[in-house]
Chain A
Amino acid sequence: MIEFVKGTFIIAGALLMLLASLGILRLPDLLTRMHATTKAAALGVILIMLAVAMHYAEVGVSARAFAIIVFILMTAPVAAHVIGRAGYFVGSKLWSGTVKDELRPNYDPLTHELKSGMESIENTQRQPRDTDPD
């Protein structure tokens, strides 16, 4: 039984990574490529690490596998966000099939100001918060 679960996890993880690399090749623009690489690859690593933890069934190995999962979950979205954001603002073209872009009209390329589009009413009443950047 456990052999079967382990095998399924490893095959599924490897397939997900294959899917991620196919995604880089096939998808049309930077942002959609970021979608494929980060999530599919992260889930693939998680599945393989679970299989490794089950296979060895030792505290040391399981703890390390668990730590790897946690670090992947912490770093993958940050990396995706940073690369995607930088690419978008540097001006990489979006795919021609993109249906809408609510960011572009709110962004000022000269001052790098990014408006929320909710200022009109609320700006007048808004109080400064502790979390605001200086």
Chain B
Amino acid sequence: MTGAIWNLLLGLAWVTLSGDFSGLNLVVGLVFGYIALLLIEPQVEALKGYPARIPRILGFIGFFIKELLMANLKVGFDILTPPWHMSPGVIAMPLAARTELEITMVANLISLTPGTLSLDVSDDRKVLYIHAMFLDDEEELRRNLKEMEYRALELFR
């Protein structure tokens, strides 16, 4: 968190000093700020782990967009063609997420990928009930969901 604030401050300092108050220049400042933080990370205790987090977040966004597009095509194909290829059902997924925030994030991400919709969390917060549209290959689906959860949790820990 301190890392993010320092990065923002460095970006703002860049904008003020270069005197060009445009959005693009702020992005440039943020990139230079990030490089500076990356260089001094070994010396400063408070910055530990911040530089490694940014590529992870970007990688996660890329992964998420890929999932979103692929699954949207699948659902779209099923809506457009007359016979139903889907085999919907409700499955229970054991959660690795523990805190309320983590569970919310994981449930939201699962809801956002087409083909899966999080229905409810069990009262003891151990299992997430998911309505899935394509259950023909349940193992594959569970693996995908687990990978998604693992990648999402990596961002918080």
Interface residues, chain A, with chain B CB atoms under 8 Å away: 16, 19, 22-23, 26-29, 31-32, 34-36, 38-40, 42-43, 59, 62-63, 73-74, 76-78, 80-81, 84-85, 88, 94-95, 97-104, 106, 113-119, 122, 126, 129, 131-133
Contact = CB atoms under 8 A, between A and B. Distances in A.
Given A23-B79, A131-B100, 9 more contacts: A19-B79, A19-B80, A22-B79, A35-B114, A77-B109, A77-B112, A81-B119, A114-B121, A131-B99
A39 B112 contact: yes
A43 B115 CA distance: 14
Contacts of A22: 79-80
B7 interface: no
Contacts of B18: none
B92 A88 contact: no
Given A59-B22, A101-B89, A131-B100, A114 B84 contact: no
Contacts of A27: 79
Interface residues of B, number: 45
A124 B86 CA distance: 40
A58 B8 CA distance: 21
Contacts, number: 146
A77 B111 CA distance: 5
B126 A118 contact: yes
Given A39-B112, A118-B126, A118-B127, A103 B133 contact: no
Nearest to B82: A26
Contacts of A80: 111, 117
Given A31-B88, A63-B23, A85-B119, A16 B127 contact: no
A22 B79 CA distance: 7
Interface in B55-92: 68-69, 71-72, 75-76, 79-80, 84, 86-92
B120 interface: yes
